[in-house]
Copies of this chain bind each other. A is one copy, B any other.
Amino acid sequence: MKPFREVIKANIGDAHAMGQQPITFLRQVIALCTYPELMDDPSFPLDAKLRASKILQSCGGQSLGSYSSSQGVSCIRENVAQYIMQRDGGIPADPDNIYLTTGASDGIASILKILVSGEEKSRTGIMIPIPQYPLYSAAISELDAIQVNYYLDEENCWALDVNELRRALYQARDYCNPKVLCIINPGNPTGQVQSRHCIEEVIHFAWEEGLFLLADEVYQDNVYSDNCKFHSFKKVLYEMGPEYFTNVELASFHSTSKGYMGECGYRGGYMEVVNLHRDIAAQLVKMLSVRLCPPVSGQAAMDVVVNPPKPEEESYNRFIREKEAVLSNLAYKAKLTEEIFNQIPGIKCNPLQGAMYAFPRIFIPDKAIQRAKELRMAPDMFYCMQLLEETGICVVPGSGFGQKEGTYHFRMTILPAVEKLKTLLQKVKEFHIKFLDEYS
């Protein structure tokens, strides 16, 4: 008999699983593409039908069941390029530089694979933030590449400090060939949103050091703090002038899984590459073609994300209402989570400026660290297991993401519905106080 009534899963960024409803327009378009007989159904709005019919016209035999080209359906790549251009205030985007992917993970793993080479000291080093989203460490280890850690500055809202990048790079050059710099903005698990100034510094650094920039921007729609704004690396790169935008290699990623849509299961995503060498691009296409193409329904989902209803269209109001409802709800929960965590003695939480996670620092008493050691567990793993056992709340220990030695954290999504999130936070509070008490 467990001392709780239900398990509350706050461990995965899986919005629909936590009760978030799909965006109606997106599902209507995909349903119409799936079963075109619905084109005659008067209950489906005209704009959804037009979208679906455009997508199908770009599919072989007008069917979602045909293979697309390995790079993705052409009209969808064009819409992605159009979206990027609008997002970035008119800076051009070339559909030939767009690759639709099986979620962002697949794109990231593919581009890393293409970039890794060399043996021993010349083996490719890949710089990643610590804390990081574990896709990176897993992909790096799968590729036998060298993981080069740079630490985000927790004292400074998890900001990225270029001096720290430099330190990490120079040290790494002793044992590998660091060629790739990965940035996650907005941050996962850390939730910071990078300032424009910081991005400029990073780009300048990449330019100076000849690093390939990999910008994971899947949370670009998830920005909550009033004083924060999402700046794409692509935009800042262009605005820094031709010396930069004709030289710095950049791959940036987006996905249907996050934002306001939360369509993880469709495995939709895209990557945009800039200044990718022609030979590397050819190699990339060849590699992607082994797996034939990304799922076409995921591509259709991506199409809706980059080409949502326009103000003059029938579905616009509903779409905006649903989108804003999700995003304002997340913004509310981001604020709430930060506030409550910071009321708990021994927990300190940076503002959740973006993404969908809190990554609070937790104080773990020495006695508990001792106990964890006896159990051969990381101290924060011990903490999270105790939390689960006693409250049914499932979060991920900070050690799964990496953290500065001697600091402890956990990652928790803010996806549970408001009332459930309040319960969750209250339970964490009670648990933490009890935990401190028990082990002090």
Proximity bits, A228-240, B CB within 8 Å = 1, else 0: 0000000000000
**Is A293 part of the contact surface with B, judged by Cβ < 8 Å?**
yes
Tell me which of A27-35, A207-215, A340-348 binds B: A27-35
**Is A385 part of the contact surface with B, judged by Cβ < 8 Å?**
no
Among A67, A105, A106, residue most surrounded by chain B Cβ atoms (within 10 Å): A67
Whether the Cβ atoms of A61 and B18 lie closer than 8 Å is yes
Whether the Cβ atoms of A292 and B105 lie closer than 8 Å is yes
Report A27 CB to chain B, min CB distance, Å: 5
Closest to A18 in B: B61
Report A329 CB to chain B, min CB distance, Å: 15
Whether the Cβ atoms of B265 and A59 lie closer than 8 Å is yes
On chain B, the residues within 8 Å of A296 by CB distance are: 265-267
Q: How large, as a class, is the contact surface on chain A?
A: 35 or more
Number of copies: 2
**Is A262 part of the contact surface with B, judged by Cβ < 8 Å?**
yes
Proximity bits, A111-140, B CB within 8 Å = 1, else 0: 000000000000000000000000100110
**Is A380 part of the contact surface with B, judged by Cβ < 8 Å?**
no
**Is A308 part of the contact surface with B, judged by Cβ < 8 Å?**
no
Q: Which residues of A contact B (CB under 8 A)?
A: 12, 14-20, 22, 27-28, 30-31, 34-35, 38, 41, 59-61, 63-68, 102-103, 105-106, 109, 135, 138-139, 142, 261-267, 286-287, 289-298
Interface CB pairs A-B, < 8 A, 16: A16-B61, A17-B61, A17-B66, A30-B35, A31-B34, A31-B35, A65-B264, A65-B266, A103-B292, A109-B291, A138-B289, A138-B290, A142-B287, A264-B293, A266-B296, A267-B292
Q: Give me 10 other A-B pairs in contact (C-beta within 8 A), A17-B61, A31-B35, A267-B294 excluded.
A: A16-B65, A18-B60, A18-B61, A27-B35, A30-B34, A30-B35, A34-B297, A105-B292, A142-B287, A264-B293
